[in-house]
């Protein structure tokens, strides 16, 4: 019989809470149902500043072909970072995507891991913007699980040395020894602009008549022009230090305007011969980008392999569970015994238990064994709990119902029984709500809400693992529960405690696990704090379990 109006009010609230827990995860699960069958797909996204020059686009086709030849079986797509170029191409009827939209399209097509390769020259503003986009879109629910970004062309000293050698190896064969090579770089206000000066040093160690000037920034054309005149150089070959010979090469470098490099140097008496070959025309340059992409691909493959191993282990565990009944024996030791916020024993205890489970049923016997004479029960059990439960599985949902009988050997406290029901949803962070009804003398109710997170940290063979378990919970008690269950004598429905546990389960072999842990309990209600005589308690634990 329900004791009073407070219980009915509590049960109505409970129905709303359970309904919310059930319905909220359900809709996204249904929406993603079509994508679930495509999980595990990997793709490469090549990202360039972009070009609207048709002849330069052919260079991107070379990069595309080289990428597909090296990374067989990978989906390869493109994105341009320049909004201006994307808009210009759109007027020509050519649709190109920004990195954001390209990644979103990959996620929508069922890809969950992407290796991005930046085709930028230096790690400047465009590259940092790309990294930020990748960071924002990685790890979104039902989206991209992993996004790795390969570094730009001239990221390391080794990259710059390889690039300088490749560029000089492909210098025009018609060039005479007294003629200069002047490379046009884009330039940037970003701090990475120093890389262009570093390239000048590398070029001139091999050929003193090689220069670099920038469209935006230093070294600028005027300073290079002074060097050419000082060395009495009468002819300069102009080449782009850019991935493709795009608009900058055709307009700023070789255009007919007064501001073009050809015009300015020509007025100074220096004949100019433009060469419309971008850096990506040379296989050695493409190889540098693809080596950077290889690093990103390796990271993707490594994480994919880890997930595959986890899935296989989870399947193995499920297969083991489906075989029938299983037994687990556990022997934990704790520095204190705290139950639902109540300090029961303030000294070290053993809490051995045995569980028989199978086909959704669980039967457990558990006891608290005193190691000291703190409550005049050294070497004796002061509590033994007997629990039977059945959990109905529905997809990722679980609906447990059960009964627990509490025995207090050689204690004045009478034994009692609780029945309970709950709901949980298996996810990255698993919520569980259980409601207990005492059917003994107390007739009170307790509601316990927990959030659990588990992450594998290390695996060196299929069964040996180290994991991280984090659990946070809160307990609520009805008027009768708070008044009688632990002799607190506190009237009213109240939040009792918040509890936090961190554990480090270490599975040594197939059936043996050791788990160090720490739990901290904080009482939430001032009246309960006064009755208990403390605000919070923390305790350490160490357990050994054997499952068979």
* Measured distance CA(445)–CA(478) in Å, rounded: 5
> What three-state secondary structure class fits 162?
helix
Percentages of the chain per state (helix, strand, coil), in multiples of 5: 35, 35, 30
Nearest to 412 by CA among 383, 372, 380: 383
Beta carbons within 8 Å of 292's beta carbon, 6+ residues apart: 117, 118, 150, 151, 152, 153, 155, 159
* Measured distance CA(260)–CA(159) in Å, rounded: 30
> By the 8 A CB rule, do 452 and 428 touch?
no
For residue 341, how many C-alpha atoms fall within 13 Å in the half-sphere facing its CB?
A: 32
> By the 8 A CB rule, do 276 and 237 touch?
no
Count of CB atoms situated within 10 Å of the CB of 338: 21
Angle between helices 99-108 and 125-137 (to 10 degrees): 30
* Measured distance CA(142)–CA(428) in Å, rounded: 12
Which long-range CB contacts under 8 A does 193-198 form with residues at least 24 apart? 193/122, 193/124, 193/217, 193/218, 195/122, 195/154, 195/160, 196/122, 196/241, 198/157, 198/160
- Strands across the sheet with 271-274, in order? 210-214, 180-185, 235-240, 271-274
- Catalytic (active site) residue 186: yes
510-540 burial, b if ≥16 CB within 10 A, otherwise e? Answer: eeebebebebebebbbeebbebbeeeebebe
Report how many helices (DSSP H) and strands (DSSP E) the chain contains, helices first.
15, 24
Q: Point out the catalytic residue in the list 186, 250, 443, 520.
A: 186
* Measured distance CA(271)–CA(241) in Å, rounded: 20
* Measured distance CA(209)–CA(348) in Å, rounded: 80
Question: What token pair was written down for 159?
Answer: 């990259």
Angle between helices 157-169 and 194-206 (to 10 degrees): 50
* Measured distance CA(78)–CA(50) in Å, rounded: 10
The alpha carbons of the chain give a radius of gyration, in whole angstroms, of 35
Nearest to 521 by CA among 504, 534, 505, 503: 534
Beta carbons within 8 Å of 397's beta carbon, 6+ residues apart: 22, 423, 424, 425, 426
User: Token pair 């919970």 is at which residue?
Assistant: 473
Please report the beta strands in 222-334, taking only residues with DSSP state E, as ranges in sequence order. 235-240, 271-274, 326-334
Q: Which residues are catalytic?
A: 186
């Amino acid at each position: 019989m329900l004791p009073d109006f407070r219980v009915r009010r509590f049960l109505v609230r409970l129905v709303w809470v359970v309904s919310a827990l059930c319905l909220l995860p359900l809709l996204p699960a249904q929406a993603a149902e079509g994508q679930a069958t495509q999980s595990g797909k990997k793709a490469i996204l090549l990202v360039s500043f972009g070009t609207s020059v048709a002849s330069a686009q052919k260079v991107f086709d070379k990069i595309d072909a080289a990428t597909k030849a090296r990374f067989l079986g990978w989906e390869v797509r493109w994105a341009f970072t320049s909004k201006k170029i994307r808009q210009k191409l759109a007027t020509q009827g050519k649709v190109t995507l920004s990195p954001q939209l390209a990644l979103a399209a990959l996620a929508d097509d069922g890809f969950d891991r992407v290796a991005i390769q930046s085709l930028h020259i230096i790690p400047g503003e465009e590259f940092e913007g790309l990294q930020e986009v990748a960071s924002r879109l990685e790890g979104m629910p039902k989206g991209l699980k992993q996004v790795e970004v390969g570094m730009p062309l001239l990221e390391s000293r080794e990259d710059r040395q390889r690039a300088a050698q490749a560029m000089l190896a492909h210098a025009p064969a018609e060039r005479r020894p007294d003629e200069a090579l002047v490379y046009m770089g884009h330039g940037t206000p970003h701090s990475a602009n120093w890389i262009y000066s570093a390239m000048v040093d590398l070029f001139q160690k091999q050929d003193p008549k090689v220069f670099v000037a920038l469209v935006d920034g230093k070294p600028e054309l005027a300073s290079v022009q002074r060097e050419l005149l000082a060395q009495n150089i009468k002819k300069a070959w102009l080449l782009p230090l850019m991935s493709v010979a795009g608009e900058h090469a055709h307009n700023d470098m070789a255009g007919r305007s007064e501001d073009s490099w050809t015009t300015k140097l020509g007025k100074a008496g220096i004949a100019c011969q433009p060469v419309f070959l971008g850096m990506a025309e040379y296989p050695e340059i493409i190889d540098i980008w693809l080596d950077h992409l290889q690093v990103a691909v390796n990271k993707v493959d490594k994480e994919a392999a880890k997930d595959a191993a986890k899935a296989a282990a989870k399947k193995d565990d499920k297969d083991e569970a489906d075989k029938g009944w299983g037994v687990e024996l556990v022997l934990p030791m704790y520095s204190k015994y705290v139950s639902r916020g109540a300090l029961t024993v303030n000294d070290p205890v053993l809490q051995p238990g045995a569980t028989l489970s199978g086909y959704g049923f669980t039967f457990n016997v558990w006891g608290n064994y005193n190691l000291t004479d703190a409550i005049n029960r050294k070497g004796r059990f002061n509590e033994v709990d007997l629990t039977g439960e059945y959990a109905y599985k529905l997809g990722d949902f679980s609906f447990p119902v059960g009964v627990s009988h509490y025995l207090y050997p050689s204690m004045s406290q009478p034994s009692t029984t609780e029945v309970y029901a709950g709901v949980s949803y298996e996810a990255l962070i698993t919520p569980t709500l259980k409601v207990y009804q005492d059917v003994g003398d107390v007739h009170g109710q307790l509601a316990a809400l927990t959030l659990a997170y588990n992450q594998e940290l290390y695996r060196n063979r299929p069964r040996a693992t180290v994991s991280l378990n984090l659990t946070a919970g809160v307990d609520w008690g009805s008027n009768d529960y708070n008044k009688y269950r632990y002799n607190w004598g506190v009237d009213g429905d109240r939040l009792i405690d918040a509890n936090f546990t961190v554990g480090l389960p270490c599975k040594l072999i197939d059936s043996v696990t050791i788990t160090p842990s720490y739990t901290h309990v904080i009482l939430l209600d001032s009246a309960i704090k006064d009755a208990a005589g403390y605000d919070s308690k923390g305790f350490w634990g160490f357990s050994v379990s054997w499952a068979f």
